[in-house]
Amino acid sequence: MFTDRNRVLVFTARGLRTFGFGLLSIVLPLYLKELGLPATLIGLVFSLTLVEDALATTAITVFADRFGRRLVLTLAPLLVVLAGVGFATAQVPWLIILVAVVGTISPGGVEAGPFLAVEQAVLSERASGHKRTGLLAWYNVVGSLFAALGAGAAGLIPHLLRHQGVTQLESMRLVFWLYAAIGIALMFVAAGMNREVEAAKPAEVREKVVMGLHRSKGIVAKLCLLFGVDALAGGFIVQQLLVYWFSVRFNVGAGVLGPVFLGTNLLSAVSFLAAAPLAKRIGLLNTMVFTHLPSNILLCFVPLMPTFHLAVAMLMLRHLLSQMDVPTRQAYTMALVAPDERSAAAGITASVRSVAQAVSPAMSGAVMALAVFGWHFIIAGTLKSVYDVAIWLVFRKVEINDG
């Protein structure tokens, strides 16, 4: 039986890590600006972190099930420690870029590195069906809440330190030291897990193993293509772009938009938790598609609303449905592949999503021009709807391993 101890440790690691990522999502851009780096170089640092994240996640997770999930989760935080110490001490641009390439950080406050993929596999090891979906739903809720807490602490810590006579630059460096300490704590948390987190070994593997996959290579390739389309669409509606559009379209500021996006995040958490009971009734794939598709149609209607309040109401309705596909998508991926392929499958698909989502904001000039008219909502909603229909058609008759 998969002990409660391992689950508690996984959830603890998730909370600690996303708190740290939330910290850096606010402090990192301000710190780089304080050091005098130009906007172009700051953009390069962020782009390199996305590329590094995708490459590191793939490189590590394809071997995780073979060499040990606990070993990976114990050693991977060294990249967090490296990033924290590196940014706290680096003074010259080339060294900052090197730290961004090698270390693990998250400019957007979302999950980064191989942790998500391996922990999904750990939670899925001996939890099946709706129980697996429920675990992954709470796992996502923990991540969202602690990332928000980290972002809040990022504003509070430097403020408190400045009242103690610490300069703004030094206070931000102390935040990076805190981030490094979180990395050390993550190593101890992972070391406390027992052998039950490891992959169940199949009796025999006849297929050639490629990047940690054997029998599921074709399935994972299809998932990568489809998830890539969904993530590419998501890049057009990242929160920063939504804030920009609302401010331009309705002439509202941060004081108004702050509560709006707090509300969307809370509704997303409700959406996570609603996924498991719904999936129990209608199945994982149907929950993914038939909640995501209406949310994407609502997304297309946001720019058509004549007033700020109606546009916000449409966005809120969209968020009430939009995140049900996250834990169900994760559970579905785990159910489609063999137990000893789970870390690799989760890592590869997550890396593809990261790269695809990075493409659309990279076209920032065109996207910002579209944003004035709201076309980016329609582009995103349409692409995501195409993804929903395509994944249902491709996988509706595919049997899953619910064990």
Share of the chain above pLDDT 90, in %: 27
Separation between Cα atoms, residue 209 and residue 167, nearest integer Å: 54
Identify the residue whose tokens are 């967090």: 80
Per the model's pLDDT, the better-predicted residue between 71 and 172 turns out to be 71
Q: Is the pLDDT assigned to residue 248 strictly greater than 70?
A: yes
Query: What pTM did the predictor assign?
Result: 0.79
Which pLDDT tens digit goes with each residue over 276-319?
Answer: 889 888 988 999 999 999 999 999 999 999 999 999 999 999 98
pLDDT at 275 over 60: yes
φ/ψ (deg, to 5) at 136: -70, -30
Give the pair of three-digit tokens for residue 394.
């491709």
Tokens 């579905």 — which residue? 332
C-alpha distances (whole Å) from 399 to each of 68, 215, 328, 337, 394 are 28, 14, 15, 11, 12
Do 337 and 214 meet the contact criterion of CB atoms below 8 Å apart?
no
pLDDT one-digit tens code per residue, 71-86: 989 999 999 999 999 9
Compute the half-sphere exposure of residue 101: CA atoms within 13 Å on the CB side of its CA: 7
Closest CA to 80 of 171, 156, 189: 189
pLDDT value for 2: 46
User: Strand pairing partners for 210?
Assistant: 213
SS3 content of the chain, % helix, strand, coil (to 5): 80, 0, 20
Q: Average model confidence (pLDDT) for the chain?
A: 83
Q: Rounded distance, CA 130 to CA 270, Å?
A: 17
CB 336 within 8 A of CB 195: no
pLDDT at 368 over 60: no
Pinpoint the alpha helices (H) of 163-198. Answer: 168-191
Using CA atoms, how far apart are residues 297 and 7, in angstroms rounded to an integer?
36
Residue 207 class from Cβ within 10 Å (0-12 exposed, 13-18 middle, 19+ buried)?
exposed
Domains and CATH numbers, the chain: 4-197 (1.20.1250.20), 217-395 (1.20.1250.20)
Q: Could you please report the per-residue DSSP string of 282-343?
A: H-HHHHHHHHHHHHHHHHHHGGG-SSHHHHHHHHHHHHHHHTTHHHHHHHHHHHHS-GGGHH
Residues 344, 64 contacting (CB under 8 angstroms)? yes
CA 3, distance to chain mean position in Å, is 26
- Structure-block tokens of residue 36: 């005098």
Whether 331 shows a pLDDT value over 80: the answer reads yes
DSSP 210: B
Q: pLDDT at position 206, please?
A: 60
